[in-house]
Structures are given as C-alpha cells and as structure tokens.
Structure 1
Amino acid sequence: MTPLYLHGLPGSAAELALGGCDWSVLDRSAPSFAQMALGLPSGPLHLIGFSLGAACALRLAALSPDKVAKLTLISAAAPLELGDFLPDMAGASVFRAARSHSQLSALTSVQSTLSRLSSGLMARMLARGCSPREAALITSAPVYRAMHEGLTKHKGTYLRELPAYVRPWANHLPYVQCPVHLIHGQQDTWAPLAMAHAFKSALPDAQLEVLDTAGHFGTLRHVLSAIQND
C-alpha cells in the first residue's frame, strides 16, 4: 500500500520534518477535487491527511474508492455543519473570512506579508492560546517553514480548499468505504476533539485514538515519531 501525505492549510511537506518522515506528498495543484482524484496514482493508496488536509483526503476517498484503501486522519478538521465548533477553534476568524473570497484574499495577503517580514510575530500570533508545549512546536522551524510555503508556494491550494472546507461537505462522508484511523489530541485548540467524535459517528468504518496531552501539531509529531521508531 502506497502512503501519500496531505499537508495542512496553510502548510507544506516541511511539516514532515517534525518527525523526520519521508512520505511522498500528494500534489494538490489540480483545480478541482474531481481532477485531483483522476490524477491519483494506481492503488491501493494509504492517504494520510493532517488538519485541513484530512478534508481533501476524505473527498478523494469518496471519489476514488477503487484506489484509496486506507485513511489516517491526524488532527482532522471536520465539516462545520456537524457541530457548533467555531467558538472553540483558534482559527475561527480565518474560517469566517473564507466564506467571502475577497476577505480570504485580503487575509492571505496579510498573512503572507507577516511571514516574510516578521516570522517571530507571525509565529506568536499562531501560538496564542496554546499550551507551552504546543506553542514551542508552532514556533519551530519546520512548522514555520510549512506555513510560509503554504502562503507562497502553495497559495493556490490554500485559496481553493479553504472555501471548499467552510461550505457543507458532510454528504461525502457516507461514500468513504475504506477504514479510517482518526488520531486526535485532547488539547487540540485548532480542531477541537469534538470534531473527531463527529467524524467517528459520521463515517461508516472509523476508529478513534485520543492522545491525552497532545495538541494539534503535537499529535502530528507523535504520529511521525512513532513511524520513525517502528
């Protein structure tokens, strides 16, 4: 089974450096999920989606059940229509802006400028409200580089997939027929644990693993480190 990684938004393959992992990263430059599904390599595939990358992984599994044999979703962001999640999400303002193309474009421009001119300020803004352990990960070189590349090199993916995420898409979940392994941190402030429970209820074949002391990126580091130590 071929593993393919789907990074967060904004994000990039640099996230994998949190655990020194060398998974292949799925190219998400296609203009639609349907075209992305058509471009998937021959299966069986194991798609590993982190954060908002999980939403893309689930859509691809629904569109290509003949190719996608397994999903691992790390700190996965669930469809907003499955619960009242926004009040508990650290990035709530971004998701609200994503409902308006003009607001999202303006916000992305500000984020890109901050990442170029003041990496320290950008990192501190992203880490606000997180535990000290999670804040240290968010301000680390791999995560900062991933976000910077996501706002520059992969900006098109960010601007396409974020608006698609805030629109209703839970209707895709019943068509995901492969096994889904959800790994989520109890202390996640970006994608609250309630999202993982919503996924477990909505997906036909899902199991949930909860990490009691981990946050959003802490869960990713845990998974990557465990793979390296196998």
Structure 2
Amino acid sequence: MAPTDSARPESTPERRTPERRAPSVVRLDDGRRIAYATYGPPTGDPLVFFHGTPGSRRLGALLEPAAQANDVRVIAPDRPGYGRSSPHPGRTVADAAASVRPVLDDAGVESAPLVAFSGGAPYALSTAATAGERVTGVDLVAGATPPSFTDDTPAVQRLLTGLASATPSVLGALFRGQAWVADRADPSFVVGQYAADADAVPDDVAATVKADFLAAFERHRSGAVTEFRDAGADWGIDLDAVDIPVRLWHGTADANVPIAGAERLAEALPTADLRALDGADHLGTLLRAAPEALARPG
C-alpha cells in the first residue's frame, strides 16, 4: 500500500525561514510538475544540486556563499514527491535523468556539472550514466553508497529502509509526525540527524537545514518513502557508464554514511577521486566541501 499524501500539517508561518525567491516550476507532458530553486548569480556558470533523503530545493541555500564566490548558478530541484514537485508513482533510481533534463531545458542549460549530497548521490550517478551528454562532472558529497558496498549501515537507516519496503504507509505517517514536531521544535531537532554536535552548527546553517526538512514534506511524503525503499535495493546503475570525472568528498567521522562504503564506490567508478575530510561528520562534509566542489573546472 502506498503512503497517503494528505495536506501538510498546520504550522505557524513565522516559524519558517522564507525563501529569497519563489521556485520555478516545470510542467511535464504527463501533467506532473518539477519545482526548482536557484542560488548564486543568475548569469553564473550552471550547476545542478541534488538534495539529500529526505530533502528539498531549500538545502541549496547552503551553497550560496560558494556560488557567489565562484560565479556559479546553482539549480536545485525538488525530486518527485518532495516539496513542490509532484509525486511520480513507481519511479526508481534509473528514472533520475527524466526529472533532470526538463529542469536543464527550462533553465536554458545544455550541460552542467552535478553536486549531490547524501541520498542524492544515486540519482546524480544515474543521471551521469544515462544522460552523460548533459553532465560534465559529478561531485558526491557525503554521498550514499550502494547497499552491497556497505557492511555497517546505521541501525536507523536499516529501520527506515525496512519500513519503506514492508509498510510504506507507516513510514509516511512517521515522516508526517516528524515534520509536525520539527515545525515546532528548535532547529537542533533536525540538525542532530546530520551533525555530531548540533549546538556547534551555526544558527543560519541550522535554520536552513530545518527549512529544508520542512519543505521536503511540505505537500507529500512519497518522495522520501520511495527513496528509502530504493536505498536498500540494487540501484540499477551501470557504474562503468559513468565516464566523466567523479569526485567523492567524505568525512572520516560521518556516522550517517561510513566512509568505508565511499572507498569501495570510488574503486568501482572508472574515473573517481576520493577526498577524505578528516574529522568531518555528515553535515560538516557538505559545509567543508562546498567551496572546492563549486570551484571545479568546466
């Protein structure tokens, strides 16, 4: 049984961090919509950002300083079933490019590098493998790794992938409850899921992470349920088909995605370069890697 995508829980508007600009919306031939936000200079070199799982276009705001410094226009879509993008029942990792191409077309971009955080990694790799003509390079930042490459998947993730496969409606209800609590709680409630010390995270970063989590479940839960289901199965990606430069940025203290899986993924990719960030946790890896990831050539 699929999770129910009912209206988002009531909230107090002043608790939310407003978006600087309204998201753009692409309407597909089948009636679905894909929303995306942009960060950095409007005329900068384009780059596509893949948010985590769960996540939304709002996380792209963390790349704003690096985007401004490197003259990069960050294009950050909501994947199907997140934020303001329509659900896509039955979608798989292999379908990722079908949601990226329309965004590139709408933004007037022929090709661009991809930067993916956490659970966005499989979708970036899938896009590179199946739409390589539109991708100039890939940066995986604290990226999720194929289940066959991981011996020590955190218990919480094992629970979520199990619920997504066995009882998706229960997981959808769990996410709805989490969003209700997060909307009323201090940002540390959300930040604690990604950082070893939530209190050490700057207030502006924490506010963005909370806004990202709330936007992920703004209208639907199906995006997260689908992606946790797919995270525990074979991704269906031909890694040998990824023949463009790939950089993996991974923290040695990442408890969400242990670095051992990233090391194996780097060995399996024909053009990969793994860069270990000493002492960085999951969120810290994104904050530390962003300036260099956005400075990549081409």
Q: Which moved more, 1:116-125 or 1:199-208?
A: 116-125
Q: 1:187 corresponds to which residue?
A: 253
**RMSD of aligned residue pairs (Cα, Å):** 2.9
Following the alignment from structure 1 to structure 2, what is the Cα–Cα distance between the partners of residues 72 and 229?
Answer: 11
- Gapped regions of structure 2 (runs ≥ 5): 1-44, 68-73, 81-85
SS at match of 2:133: coil
Q: Within the alignment, does 1:39 sit opposite 2:83 as a pair? A: no
TM-score by length of 2: 0.66
Q: Which moved more, 1:73-82 or 1:114-123?
A: 114-123
Q: Where does residue 244 of structure 2 map in the other structure?
A: 178
CA distance in 2, matches of 1:59, 1:229: 23
Q: CA deviation at 1:171?
A: 4.3
1:6 matched to which residue of 2?
Answer: 50
Aligned 8 A contact 1:5 1:25 in 2: yes
Change beyond 3 A, Cα 1:154–1:204 = farther
Deviation at 1:69, TM superposition (A): 2.0
Secondary structure of 2:244's counterpart equals coil
- Aligned CA distance change for structure 1 residues 54 and 192 (closer, same or farther; 3 Å): same
Distance 1:52 1:122 in 2: 19
Q: Does 1:114 align with 2:114?
A: no
Measure the CA separation in 2 of the matches of 1:228 and 1:204: 22
Instruction: Indicate if the aligned counterparts of 1:16 and 1:224 stay in contact, CA closer than 8 A.
Output: no
Q: Counterpart amino acid of 1:26?
A: P
Measure the CA separation in 2 of the matches of 1:115 and 1:96: 23
Q: Percent identity?
A: 26
Q: Is the 8 A contact 1:69 1:178 kept in 2?
A: yes
AA partner of residue 39 (structure 1)? P
| Greater fraction helix | 1
How many positions carry a matched residue from both structures? 226
2:240 counterpart of 1:147: no
Corresponding residue to 1:201 among 257, 267, 271: 267
Residue of structure 2 in register with 1:72 after alignment? 139
Distance 1:226 1:69 in 2: 16
Most deviating of 115-124 and 162-171? 115-124
**Aligned counterparts of 1:148 and 1:126: Cα–Cα separation in 2:** 14
Cα distance change on mapping 1:172 and 1:151 into 2, 3 Å:
farther
1:20 aligned counterpart, secondary structure:
helix
The 8 Å contact of residues 180 and 207 in structure 1, kept in 2 or not, is answered as yes
In structure 2, what is the equivalent of residue 82 of structure 1?
Answer: 149
* Alignment partners' CA distance in 1, 2:134 and 2:295: 28
Give, in angstroms, the shift of residue 152 of structure 1: 2.0
Q: Which has the higher contact order (CA 8 A, sep 6+)?
A: 1
8 A contact 1:48–1:57 mirrored in 2:
yes
Is the Cα–Cα contact under 8 Å of residues 138 and 217 in structure 1 kept in the other structure?
A: no
Question: Any runs of at least 4 consecutive aligned residues in structure 1 with deviations exceeding 4 A, and if so which?
Answer: 225-230
Aligned to 1:166: 232
Q: SS at 2:165's partner residue?
A: coil
